[in-house]
Amino acid sequence: MALSILVVDDSQPMRAVIVKTIRAAGFGDAQFFEAANGREAVEKLGENWVDIVVTDYNMPDMNGMDLLLLLKKDSVFSSIPVLMVTTEGSLERVDAFLRAGASGYIKKPFTPEKIREQLISILGAPHGNDAENCDEGLDF
């Protein structure tokens, strides 16, 4: 069964880059859902079960940290891993993400290899879909 991934970022082009990068990293058969902020992400989670949330930190309305804290307090959503993808790179900020329950952290800009490394660390290797065999190009 394919993974389902919720990508949360206030920039539609960045969501497209993240989806394309995840596919190029060997997770091409994943099903993707998208949200523009934390509030929209919560709505999507009410409609769809996902295996992982990949979220930006800096977003209007509800940022990634607020989304993470909300998910970790909820008995239904608390087991969903959350991967933070952000420009925030200070050790204090990264430590705060991890203390709050984030499963991993990636600093923008990122590579397919870094995404793959984090997703495998959190979810395990993709089934039957290797990055070298992925037909998704990185022409962005």
Contact status, residue 14 vs residue 37, Cβ threshold 8 Å? no
Q: Model confidence over 3-41: pLDDT tens digits?
A: 999 999 999 999 999 999 999 988 989 999 999 999 999
Q: Which residues pair with 33 in a beta bridge?
A: 6
- Mind listing the domains of the chain with CATH numbers? 4-132 (3.40.50.2300)
Compute the distance between CA of residue 84 and CA of residue 81 in angstroms, rounded to an integer: 10
Q: Is the pTM of this model over 0.85?
A: yes
Contact status, residue 102 vs residue 82, Cβ threshold 8 Å? yes
Q: Model confidence over 67-97: pLDDT tens digits?
A: 999 999 999 999 999 999 988 778 888 899 9
